[in-house]
A and B are shown apart, each in its own frame.
Chain A
Amino acid sequence: DARVTQTPRDKVTEMGQEVTMRCQPILGHNTVFWYRQTMMQGLELLAYFRNRAPLDDSGMPKDRFSAEMPDATLATLKIQPSEPRDSAVYFCASAAGGAGYNEQFFGPGTRLTVL
């Protein structure tokens, strides 16, 4: 059945290292989201794309984070350099369609630990 996939599922890295998280949206979905979840802040929307173009990335720290969609089947979220405060679960989600709202389907998340 169709689902959003994310890799890796778990990542442990040292402070200062580059981290790349990948997401494969559901085939045919043209809107892709990146979220971050921490115990302190809960869920936060980092950025989202429509038809591979960024529609809103106001929630994303610009100095170290970058999000891209190299093609319609792959979204990436990079952190360089990583810091301990980036430790969180990062979720990708995708949805079909344009204006209005269509149900978002979430991936299983990438649990990032920065030591």
Chain B
Amino acid sequence: KNEVEQSPQNLTAQEGEFITINCSYSVGISALHWLQQHPGGGIVSLFMLSSGKKKHGRLIATINIQEKHSSLHITASHPRDSAVYICAVSGLDSGGSNYKLTFGKGTLLTVNP
């Protein structure tokens, strides 16, 4: 079993819909990360969180440490949100930083106009 599981693997939505992508993990972590990979391959770091909720524009990320679960929500989805969304978890490394990432397989989101 992978340490990081994402669901769904694929998601198709209509423009304007509310999107939820889920991530579950099986190990103790110090932080959880969400990344976005565009169709051309470029990767962007969206969020790092270790508790509660973070919001950036139409994106909201939540984490429940007790349940080992995180969700990424997209409000008022738009075709430009079409991308692969990747969840990753990290533990502290010897330098006290949160860079040692273990990744989920990603969720391919397609938003149709």
Binding site for B on A (CB under 8 A): 31, 33, 42-45, 48, 50, 55-56, 89, 91, 93, 95, 98-101, 103-106, 108-109
Contacts and interface: CB of A to CB of B under 8 A. Distances in A.
Majority SS at the chain A contact face: strand
B101 A45 contact: yes
B42 interface: yes
Contacts, number: 61
Contacts of B113: none
Interface of B: 31, 41-45, 48, 86, 88, 90, 93-106
The 3 closest A-B pairs by CB, nearest first: A99-B96, A101-B98, A106-B43
B99 A91 contact: no
A95 B43 CA distance: 14
Given A43-B86, A43-B103, A44-B103, A108 B42 contact: yes
A100 B42 contact: no
Contact of A42 (B44, B48, B95, B105): B105
Given A55-B94, A101-B31, A103-B45, 14 more contacts: A42-B104, A43-B101, A43-B103, A45-B100, A45-B103, A50-B97, A55-B99, A98-B97, A99-B95, A100-B98, A101-B99, A105-B45, A106-B45, A109-B41
